[in-house]
């Protein structure tokens, strides 16, 4: 049986509830943003409100975030810009742009790797990093590219 996202986070973040909640909160916010920008999933006003609540209220009071804000906020900014660039590159439709988009679109994975570092140090990060990336980057480029082509990208 494969590991769930919750199990993976609990393991790589050594059961730290604040770090786990920090990552889950970022995932939830980013998924709603993705749904808004892509327009591929209908969202209710409450879905949007909940994402704003998480971003403006819950995330800033998370103890893990508060303690490591100086470290994680620049990583969050980079991940957000990388995702934004991935959307632009996807929509441009060329093969190379889609290749870049495929790499850039899930940079929150790198943030999870860095959270593992903050929780367990560099040796722990080195031990779990490749597995974190393999878990979150479970879609092949071929499958990703085929979905884009079906959706109208050239």
User: Running DSSP on this structure, what letter comes out for residue 82?
Assistant: H
Nearest by Cα to 115 from 75, 62, 61, 85:
75
Instruction: Check residue 1 and give its pLDDT.
Output: 64
**Residue matched to tokens 């367990």:** 120
8 A C-beta contact, residue 93 and residue 153: yes
Tens of pLDDT along the chain (154 residues) come to 689 999 999 999 999 999 999 999 999 999 999 999 988 889 999 999 999 999 999 999 999 999 999 999 999 999 999 999 999 998 887 888 888 988 898 889 999 999 999 999 999 999 999 999 999 988 777 777 777 777 655 4
Instruction: Check residue 134 and give its pLDDT.
Output: 92
Instruction: Check residue 144 and give its pLDDT.
Output: 76
Q: In angstroms, rounded to a whole number, what is the distance separating the alpha carbons of residues 113 and 126?
A: 9
> Rounded to two decimals, what is the model's pTM?
0.90
Instruction: Check residue 12 and give its pLDDT.
Output: 98
């Amino acid at each position: 049986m494969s590991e769930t996202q919750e199990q993976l986070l609990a393991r790589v973040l050594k059961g730290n509830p604040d770090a786990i909640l920090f990552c889950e909160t970022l995932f939830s916010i980013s998924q709603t943003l993705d749904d808004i920008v892509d327009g591929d999933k209908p969202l209710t006003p409450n879905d949007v409100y909940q994402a704003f609540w998480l971003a403006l209220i819950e995330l800033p009071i998370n103890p893990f975030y508060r303690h490591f804000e100086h470290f994680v906020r620049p990583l969050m900014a980079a991940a957000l810009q990388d995702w934004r660039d991935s959307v632009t590159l996807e929509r441009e439709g060329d093969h190379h742009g889609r290749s870049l988009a495929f790499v850039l679109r899930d940079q929150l994975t790198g943030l999870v790797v860095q959270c593992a570092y903050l929780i367990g140090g560099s040796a722990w990060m080195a031990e779990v990093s490749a597995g974190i990336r393999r878990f979150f980057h479970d879609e092949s480029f071929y499958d990703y590219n085929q979905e884009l082509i079906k959706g109208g990208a050239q």
